[in-house]
Chain A
């Protein structure tokens, strides 16, 4: 059975049918059953993702148990990870997400942790900028000037020093930045369509784990 499910033909038929049911109702008015099939498929994807979450819990638990069992380096942290995973799950599922223990874990441990890591990114951005924005040639000089102007636009003191910084920064963002964003959106949409064609024509099947002899 698993061979059938992983065969190239089965995956191709499945992909073509699903693509047809999802894309056609977006462009064309279709009968009600086809609309229902579209919404059911989208709901199906959400359900699969929810089930797959259990796989995540299982693999994380398994990994830490193996690490602790083998007394690998840093195994004691594995104990801590296991405690946090399962306390969070039990608190959320059994006691409910409005209980003080769940709220404590969420608001006093998870969110500050997230905020800390996000803040650290700032320092790495500065160190990368220090390497990148150096005057080497005409291009890098131009880049440095634009960067300084955009930074000054964001700084309140710049408007006090000279009121021209804000309009220049706005122009750079609204015209240059926006046109580059639109170009990026167009070419990536195009690349996505072509990738879908390669997949639907059975040429690029590597991403679904089809073996070479089947994928030829």
Chain B
């Protein structure tokens, strides 16, 4: 069979898979189907955390991460979450703080974040309550930013610390200080070793694509939620490919590895 597939390499298969995923996502988004997706505890906990802050009379802190990759998918997801958190804080009249900085690529996402928060206040007709100083740029270096962030938490004693987006080595430091000041800790990170560390520290953890699906999940828009279904279906396909590939490779047939390698 390998002879028939000689013209295919990893890039061609990758491109085909990309197109399939995109078409499947569009199909689910526009098919008006009611789909059920699993509950994501970390995202459901955002409402709980904001409500907790309102009851305790404490502010909310929401980080969009260090944005090391600039406007990466993780930062974009964190910005979607920030938009949701801002709308809730505006509605309940809770002060929102967003410590910005952490890398030299943060400057563009930082301005986007400020614009998002300002727009939410403007849309609610509460522009006079918008405080640009609540979104300070602390530093372009990760550790200096983390020190400033910790200082904010110690002074403000937030009810919830939402630590999402691209979180690097300081995530554990920030999460533990959040825990110390009595904040509900909702964390997530973009690489697996950091997630393992945060699992020991956070109250709720966004793992893997949880954060990337946040915009759709929190929007409660059926069309957007339907897009998550496409992700689930593709995961089943990948599980089958993994099992078939492993079995074939065990018998010396490397066709799956050839098709997916580049």
Contacts and interface: CB of A to CB of B under 8 A. Distances in A.
A204 B224 contact: yes
Contacts of B230: 194
Interface stretch (A32-40, A128-136, A155-163): A128-136
A122 B141 CA distance: 19
A204 B216 contact: yes
B93 interface: no
B212 interface: yes
With most chain B CB atoms within 10 A of its CB, the pick from A60, A180, A196, A206 is A206
A112 B202 CA distance: 28
A188 B209 contact: yes
Interface residues of A, number: 56
B224 A59 contact: no
A181 to B, nearest CB: 5
A114 B200 contact: no
Interface of A, helix, strand, loop or mixed by DSSP: helix
B105 A59 contact: no
A154 to B, nearest CB: 14
Contacts of B77: 195, 207
A181 B192 contact: yes
B144 A113 contact: yes
B125 to A, nearest CB: 13
B227 interface: yes
Contacts of B169: 118, 121
A212 B231 CA distance: 26
Contact of B29 (A110, A198, A207): A198
B198 to A, nearest CB: 9
Given A193-B18, A194-B212, A197-B227, A209 B136 contact: no
B112 A209 contact: yes
Interface in B205-262: 208-209, 211-213, 215-216, 219, 221, 223-224, 227-228, 230-231, 234-235, 238
Nearest to A184: B192
A49 to B, nearest CB: 6
24 contacts: A27-B14, A27-B18, A53-B140, A55-B110, A56-B107, A56-B110, A114-B141, A116-B143, A118-B169, A121-B173, A128-B200, A187-B209, A187-B235, A188-B209, A190-B235, A193-B21, A193-B25, A194-B21, A195-B212, A198-B224, A206-B80, A206-B84, A206-B219, A209-B118
Interface of B: 11-12, 14-15, 18, 21-22, 25-26, 29, 70, 73, 76-77, 79-80, 83-84, 101, 104-108, 110-112, 115-116, 118-119, 122-123, 133, 136-137, 139-144, 146-147, 169-170, 172-173, 175-177, 179, 190-192, 195, 197, 199-201, 208-209, 211-213, 215-216, 219, 221, 223-224, 227-228, 230-231, 234-235, 238
Given A55-B111, A195-B215, 20 more contacts: A28-B15, A49-B104, A128-B197, A129-B200, A181-B192, A188-B208, A188-B209, A191-B212, A191-B231, A194-B213, A194-B227, A203-B221, A206-B116, A206-B215, A206-B219, A207-B83, A208-B112, A209-B112, A209-B119, A211-B122
Interface of A: 26-28, 45, 48-49, 52-53, 55-56, 59-60, 63, 66, 110, 113-114, 116-118, 120-121, 124-125, 127-129, 131-133, 180-181, 183-184, 186-188, 190-199, 201, 203-204, 206-209, 211-212
